[in-house]
Amino acid sequence: MNLYLIINIIGVAAFIGFAFLFSKNKKNIQWKSIGILVVFNVFLAWFLMVFPIGRWIISQIAVGFNWLMETAYSGIGFAFASMVHVKNMDVVFSALMPILLIVPLFDILTYFGILPKIIHSLGWALSKLTGRPKFESFFAIEMMFLGNTEALAVSSGQLKSMSSERLFTISLMSMSCVSAAMIGVYTQMIPSQFVLTAIPLNIINTIIVTSILNPVKVPKDEDVIFELKKEEKPPFFSFLGDSILGAGKLILIITAMLISFIALSALIDKILQIFASWLTLSSILGTAMMPFSLLLGLPIDEAFKTAQYMGTKLVTNEFVVMADIMPKLNTFSPHMKAVLCTFLVSFTNFSTIGMVLGCFNGIVSKEKATNLSRGVWMMILSGTLVSLMSAAIVGLFVW
């Protein structure tokens, strides 16, 4: 057996062991359930990455998102004809502008009650599969479609009545999601097979990691999902207008963050190089993430490069790294490309912590919000371990 494959397998176990090391209640961990979920996730990765039917499903979903992106370009091209379908499209136009179609599309599905039904059905199925509390399973699916802060806002009524222990689990889970509106963006920047495989793996790994870090027993009478209050819908075109404006703001926010974070990173590098010509932010982050990167079954040179990208992603965001590696992807080995791209598909970074805690501050009591803020380091640990687990599991099948 390939030595790096053996290390990759050890890595999956090591990440679980690392979660156990920092568990808040080691005695309450349900190892049988954890084992079943790990096996299921390995099977799911094999099915989606190797098995012909799974690969076909992934390819068809990718075709659907590519069709959506091409459809979006018809609108973008009308406004910016010189920017679309050119040899080197700028990232803002190739990856971000289509958000103006995708976000309103998902909002329309929500408006007519289609998306909530899908979320409830998948949440119910996930609860039955994992044996975990209904709301936690529902919330994991909700985050996949809506994103972390949106899912928190939608579930605010139930969150207000939950114990501090369960709220902490929800805060840990909130670090590991992406929203469906971002899938089209990601597939324009990195290979779609890794994006579409990482998303379901992240959901299961979120449950695995949080069940180890913060195992909580939920009494049967508390294992319920509150019915959401039905609010009067605004007129459709007023709703659609608000959705489009929200999508536009999102593009501006992401663009501003890209420009600012990349410029700040360059500034930090210039300051560091005053003291040593070889010293950069990437080299520091790469050194810190190197042990984790080696456990993904990478040779030392590739492990260091991957560690630099992983560290940069945690400090900035996934878009910064995706934009950086887009022109370089074909120079990476298949295994490095698989584990790195899979790792990038999540909102896990330091800025997400602020967004999540800010959202909780507006929902729960001050005392509960303060308790959550004390677990900031556990939040980043949870999100990082989920991303590492997904990367390691995908890496098992790509060499």
Q: What is the per-residue pLDDT for 230?
A: 58
Higher pLDDT, 190 or 264: 190
Q: What is the mean pLDDT of residues 235-245?
A: 87
Residue among 397, 387, 2, 399 at smallest CA distance from 198? 387
269 vs 267: CA distance, rounded Å: 5
Does residue 296 sit in helix, strand or coil? coil
Q: CA 22 to CA 19: how far, in whole Å?
A: 5
pLDDT at 231: 61
Residue 130 and residue 180 in contact, taking contact as beta carbons nearer than 8 Å: no
Alpha helices for 295-333 (secondary structure H): 300-315, 318-325
Q: At residue 228, does pLDDT exceed 70? A: no
Can you give the pLDDT at residue 81?
82
Q: How far apart are CA 237 and CA 260, in angstroms?
A: 34
Rounded to an integer, what distance in angstroms lies between the CA atom of residue 168 and that of residue 398?
A: 35
Percent of the chain with pLDDT over 90: 23
Range picked from 150-154, 273-277, 353-357, 369-373 for highest mean pLDDT: 273-277
- Per-residue model confidence as pLDDT tens digits over 129-150: 777 777 888 888 877 777 777 7
End-to-end, the C-alpha distance of the chain in Å comes to 13
Region 275-283 average pLDDT: 82
Q: What's the chain's average pLDDT?
A: 84
Contact 382, 172 (CB under 8 A): yes
Segment 75-85, tens digit of pLDDT: 888 888 887 77
Mean pLDDT value across residues 149-172: 79
The arithmetic mean of pLDDT across residues 208-218, rounded, is 87
Q: What is the pLDDT of residues 173-182, one digit of tens each?
A: 888 877 777 7
Task: Give the CA radius of gyration of the chain.
Answer: 21
* Closest to 215 (Cα-Cα) out of 131, 115, 92: 131
- DSSP label of 235: P
86-99 pLDDT, tens digit per residue, is 767 776 787 678 87
**For 329-357, how does the pLDDT look when each residue is reduced to its tens digit (9 = 90+)?**
989 999 999 999 999 998 887 777 777 88
**Residue 257 clears pLDDT 80, i.e. is over it:** no
Of 286 and 192, more confident: 192
Q: Is 283 exposed, middle or buried (0-12, 13-18, 19+ CB in 10 A)?
A: middle
- Whether pLDDT at 1 is above 60: no
- 278: exposed, middle or buried (Cβ count in 10 Å: 0-12, 13-18, 19+): exposed
Q: Is residue 199 predicted with pLDDT exceeding 80? A: yes
Residue 392 pLDDT grade (very low, low, confident, very high; cuts 50, 70, 90): very high
Beta strands of the chain (E only): which ranges?
none
pLDDT of residue 209: 92
Tokens for 248?
Answer: 């536009």
